[in-house]
């Protein structure tokens, strides 16, 4: 067994082989079984009770709930007004600096203390009438430690923040760097295995990194002893070491000629983080200067910081989520703000007072980076699954990405509301995290995997069976009550948001049709008013499938389009279009000659022959295969369609009869 792909570790593992750890095998079997049991049981329930839904999953549905609940928070959010007061100051030697109001009339001001313009004007007047003297200067040294080397989730997060890479894109690029790049005619793997939750580095790697730091930056950038890191995740398996360059001497600039732009960006990011994790601390001197007015009881504060030793900052700064307005996300907010030389007891002058109105902002929507971070904090999912979870949510049209942030689609909110109401336990964050912990206990031989499955399956299967008696009316009533404020928000003029805009007498609400949910009038069929959801593109496109169909890809073998079509007997997949083969000029000539001879023979027999209609061109029907009832047609992808089109398939000759099977 080896946890690092180095010559020393592999040779040592080969010298001391061991039996297969069946506890790890059982944990894998349990994880796979749980995913199958949830997905294969819940998805059909959604198809029957909530048409237009795509799928549900043990982890994907919990991730979707996070996005939907954040959307609920944003919709419920009511902005609050607040004001800030800052001043342009000058020292006795007329050196400028900036300060902000922190105390007024003996009360410490927090963010919301100045609630309106009137409060701000009182503060401005107090500053304007005051005479300020420096009462306290506080100096302290702050040290910053480097972040651990990358694991899968932190690599995905940082690549998202810095480059806008999606999790899937990051993993595809990392996979190529791991598999190998052609360098001088030789295929060289540039990074270690990229699906890992371990933050440790091999001893050989650490020694090489420290040598490189000393060579590139000098001994002052090298701590006395190697840095060791421990995982913060209680469910970390740490089967592999952290993501690092296979050879730290391969500096990014040396590799640049052999890499694509995105490969270079990701390799440089990994190289820098790996170097930084073994470098010295960054050291900052922070200064806080308090200035008071004895006459108006107002206190101003000026803050400054100076980077006195950059340490690991020389190479790398970790990004942060949800930077303040104007922030780039490229590192920490510790820019050098150098204050002029000042002393306690010195008088300072107010040059200008700036009061500014603000409004509180709702919690930000999740980015890929912040969603992965939140899943990790909740101990939900595994590093290797985050990219696929996010991709599935987008493929199923449950969420969409706008300005690199996730917005819940109406379909996603319907699915979440359904699951929260009828399967609440199984989309709870704690329940999903507890399952992850049980899987870890199985791998540690603390739990029996079959017992875990039995304890899960009993109550879960009963819950699934209990939905068979759910009527569409019950489902609609529950969803309408839960999501009514979203679909029918209050109107500006105070009128009833549910009044039918067509007949004026009916009330609009959620309705379910063959292809999914929509908004309709309760006076149907007298009133036929309907409204599709804002982004339910596939529901409105369902009727269009009866034409030439919707193209879902290209068959690599024939180059023909693969289509999803609608016929009189339901939906089906089709390979290519109907081909019309026109007659050649030679065939047309022969056909005309045959027709002339036929007419001539008929006339000789005393008949008056009628001319035949011209022969129609030949048509070749495309191959078509119906979609099984248990398959959701709108989750159809190219691989699934090609699989259906390959049926029936010849497997070979029967060994006894010799007949083709």
Q: What is the pLDDT of residue 538?
A: 47
CATH code of 152-276, in short, is 1.10.290.10
Task: Choose among 413, 322, 429, 416: nearest CA to 367.
Answer: 322
How far is residue 329 from each of residues 101, 261, 305, 414, 543, measured CA to CA in Å? 28, 20, 19, 33, 44
| pLDDT exceeds 70 at position 536 | no
Comparing 72-76, 405-409, 625-629, the range with the smallest average pLDDT is: 625-629
- Predicted confidence at residue 637, as pLDDT, reads 80
pLDDT at site 336: 64
Name the superfamily (CATH) of residues 7-77+365-472. Answer: Topoisomerase I, domain 2 (1.10.460.10)
pTM: 0.69
Cα–Cα dist 438/441, whole Å: 5
Marked catalytic residue, from 193, 366, 386, 426 = 193
**Cβ neighbours of residue 273 closer than 8 Å, sequence gap 6 or more:** 147, 149, 150, 158, 316
Confidence category of residue 591, pLDDT binned at 50, 70, 90? confident
Find the mean pLDDT for residues 371-382.
Answer: 88
pLDDT number for residue 444: 86
Query: pLDDT digits over 192-216, tens only?
Result: 989 888 899 988 899 999 999 999 9
pLDDT band for position 498 (50/70/90)?
confident
Distances (CA, A) of 14 to 2, 193, 603, 648, 652: 9, 19, 96, 47, 41
Mean pLDDT of 594-612: 80
Give domain 488-543's CATH architecture. Answer: 2-Layer Sandwich (3.30)
Contact assessment for residue 317 and residue 331, using Cβ atoms and an 8 Å cutoff = yes
What is residue 323's predicted lDDT score, i.e. its pLDDT?
45
Nearest to 156 by CA among 148, 166, 147: 166
Q: What is the pLDDT of residues 327-342, one digit of tens each?
A: 334 444 445 688 998 9
pLDDT tier at 507 (50, 70, 90 boundaries)?
A: confident
355 or 529: whose pLDDT is higher?
355
* Beta carbons within 8 Å of 598's beta carbon, 6+ residues apart: 609, 612
Give the pLDDT of residue 527. 85
Average of per-residue pLDDT across 227-241: 74
Lowest-confidence region among 63-77, 394-408, 468-482, 637-651: 637-651
Inter-CA distances, 34 with 42, 59, 267, 359, Å: 12, 10, 36, 46
| Stretch 367-381: mean pLDDT | 89
Q: Averaged over 27-42, what is the pLDDT?
A: 91
pLDDT in tens, 266-312: 999 999 999 999 999 999 999 999 999 988 889 999 999 988 899 99
Give the pLDDT confidence score for residue 652 in this predicted structure. 67
| CA–CA distance, 624 with 551 (Å, rounded to integer) | 14
More confident residue, 88 or 382: 88
Contacts of 207 (CB under 8 A, 6+ apart): none
283's tokens: 């050291």
CATH class of 81-145+282-359: mainly beta
Domain boundaries, the chain: 7-77+365-472, 81-145+282-359, 152-276, 488-543, 549-578+621-645, 585-616
Segment among 114-123, 377-386, 392-401 with least mean pLDDT: 377-386
Name the pLDDT band for 515 (thresholds 50, 70, 90): low
The pLDDT, as a whole number, for residue 302 is 96
398 has catalytic annotation: no
Residue with tokens 């696929």: 388
pLDDT tens, position by position, 559-576: 899 998 877 667 889 999
Average pLDDT value over all residues in the chain: 86
Q: What is the pLDDT of residue 6?
A: 65
Report, as an integer, the average pLDDT of 400-415. Answer: 89
């Amino acid at each position: 067994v080896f946890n690092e792909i180095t010559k020393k570790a592999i040779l040592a593992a080969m010298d001391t082989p061991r039996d297969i750890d069946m506890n790890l095998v059982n944990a894998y079997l349990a994880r796979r079984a749980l995913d199958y049991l949830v997905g294969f049981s819940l998805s059909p329930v959604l198809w029957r009770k909530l048409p237009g839904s795509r799928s549900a999953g043990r982890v994907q549905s919990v991730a979707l709930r996070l996005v939907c609940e954040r959307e609920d928070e944003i919709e419920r959010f009511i902005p609050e007004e607040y004001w800030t007061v800052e001043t342009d100051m000058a020292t006795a030697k007329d050196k400028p600096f900036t300060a902000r109001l922190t105390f007024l009339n003996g009360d410490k001001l927090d963010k919301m203390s100045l609630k309106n313009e009137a409060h701000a004007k009182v503060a401005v007047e107090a500053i304007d009438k005051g005479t300020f003297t420096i009462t306290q200067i506080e100096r302290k040294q702050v040290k910053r430690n480097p972040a651990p080397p990358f694991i899968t989730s932190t690599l995905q997060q940082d690549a998202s923040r810095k480059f806008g890479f999606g999790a899937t894109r990051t993993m595809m690029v990392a996979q190529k760097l791991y598999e190998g790049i052609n360098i001088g005619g030789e295929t060289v793997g540039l990074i270690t295995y990229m699906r890992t939750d371990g933050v440790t580095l091999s001893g050989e790697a650490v020694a090489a990194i420290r040598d490189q730091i000393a060579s590139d930056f000098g001994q002052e950038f090298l701590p006395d002893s190697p840095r060791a890191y421990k995982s913060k995740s209680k469910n970390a398996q740490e089967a592999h070491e952290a993501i690092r360059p296979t050879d730290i001497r391969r500096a990014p600039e040396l590799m640049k000629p052999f890499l694509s732009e995105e490969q270079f960006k990701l390799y440089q990011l990994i190289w820098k983080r790996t170097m930084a994790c073994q470098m010295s601390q960054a050291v900052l001197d922070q200064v806080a200067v308090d200035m008071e007015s004895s006459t108006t009881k107002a206190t101003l504060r000026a803050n400054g910081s100076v980077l006195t030793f950059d340490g690991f900052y020389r190479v790398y700064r970790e990004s942060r989520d949800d930077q303040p307005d104007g922030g780039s996300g490229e590192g920490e907010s510790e820019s050098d703000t150098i204050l002029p030389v000042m002393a306690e007891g010195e008088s300072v002058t107010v040059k200008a007072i700036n009061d500014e109105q603000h409004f509180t902002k709702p919690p930000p929507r999740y980015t890929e980076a912040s969603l992965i971070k939140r899943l990790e904090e909740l101990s939900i999912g595994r590093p290797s699954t985050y990219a696929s979870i996010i991709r599935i949510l987008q493929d199923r049209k449950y969420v969409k990405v706008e300005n690199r942030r996730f917005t819940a689609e109406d379909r996603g909110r319907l699915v979440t509301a359904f699951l929260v109401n009828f399967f609440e336990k199984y989309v709870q964050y704690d329940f999903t995290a507890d399952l992850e912990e049980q899987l870890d206990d199985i791998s540690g031989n603390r739990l029996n995997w079959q017992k875990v499955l039995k304890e899960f399956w009993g109550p879960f299967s009963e819950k699934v069976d209990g939905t068979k008696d759910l009527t569409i009316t019950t489902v609609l009533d529950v969803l309408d009550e839960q999501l009514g404020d979203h679909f029918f928000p209050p109107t500006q003029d105070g009128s009833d948001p549910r009044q039918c805009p067509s007949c004026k007498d009916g009330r609009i609400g959620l309705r379910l049709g063959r292809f999914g949910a929509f908004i309709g009038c309760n006076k149907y069929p007298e009133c036929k008013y309907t409204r599709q959801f804002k982004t339910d593109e596939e529901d409105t496109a369902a009727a269009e499938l009866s034409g030439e169909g919707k193209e879902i890809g290209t068959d690599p073998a024939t180059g023909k389009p693969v289509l999803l079509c609608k016929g009189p007997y339901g939906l089906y997949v089709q390979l290519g279009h109907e081909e019309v083969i026109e007659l050649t000029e030679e065939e047309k000539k022969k056909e005309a000659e045959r027709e002339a001879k036929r007419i001539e023979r008929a006339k000789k027999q005393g008949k008056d022959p009628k001319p035949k209609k011209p022969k129609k061109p030949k048509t070749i029907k495309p191959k078509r295969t119906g979609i099984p009832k248990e398959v959701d047609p709108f989750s159809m992808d190219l691989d699934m369609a090609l699989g259906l089109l390959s049926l029936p398939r010849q497997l070979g000759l029967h060994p006894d009869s010799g007949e083709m099977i």
